Amino acid sequence: LIFGAIEVERTWGLSWKRAESRRSRLDSGAELKQIALELRDLAVRVKAYREAERQRAEEREAQQRIDDELRERARREKERMGWLREEAAAWKEAERIRSYAAAVEASLKEVVETSALQEWMSWTSRVAASLDPIENGDAGGWFDIAEG
3-state SS of 3-48 is: ECCEEEECCCCCEEEECCCCCCECCCHHHHHHHHHHHHHHHHHHHH
- List of long-range contacts for 58-66, beta carbons under 8 Å, 24+ apart: none
Q: What pLDDT was estimated at residue 144?
A: 61
Q: What pLDDT was estimated at residue 145?
A: 53
Least confident of 18-27, 40-49, 81-90: 18-27
Q: What pLDDT was estimated at residue 112?
A: 82
Question: Mean pLDDT throughout 12-18?
Answer: 46
* pLDDT band at residue 15 under the 50/70/90 scheme: very low
Q: What pLDDT was estimated at residue 5?
A: 41
Beta-carbon neighbour count of residue 35 at 10 Å?
A: 16
pTM equals 0.57
12, pLDDT greater than 70: no
Name the more confident of 32 and 89: 89
1, pLDDT greater than 50: no
Kindly list the distances between the CA atom of residue 105 and the CA atoms of 87, 91, 114, 128, in Å, as whole numbers in the listed order. Answer: 27, 21, 10, 15
Cα separation, 29 vs 35, whole angstroms = 10
Cα separation, 90 vs 99, whole angstroms = 14
Residue of 17, 24, 145 lying closest to 86 (CA atoms): 145
Return the sign of the alpha-carbon dihedral for residues 110, 112, 116, 117: negative
15 neighbors 8 (Cβ within 8 angstroms): yes
45, pLDDT greater than 60: yes
Rg, C-alpha atoms of the chain: 40
Q: What pLDDT was estimated at residue 137?
A: 84
22, pLDDT greater than 60: no
135, pLDDT greater than 60: yes
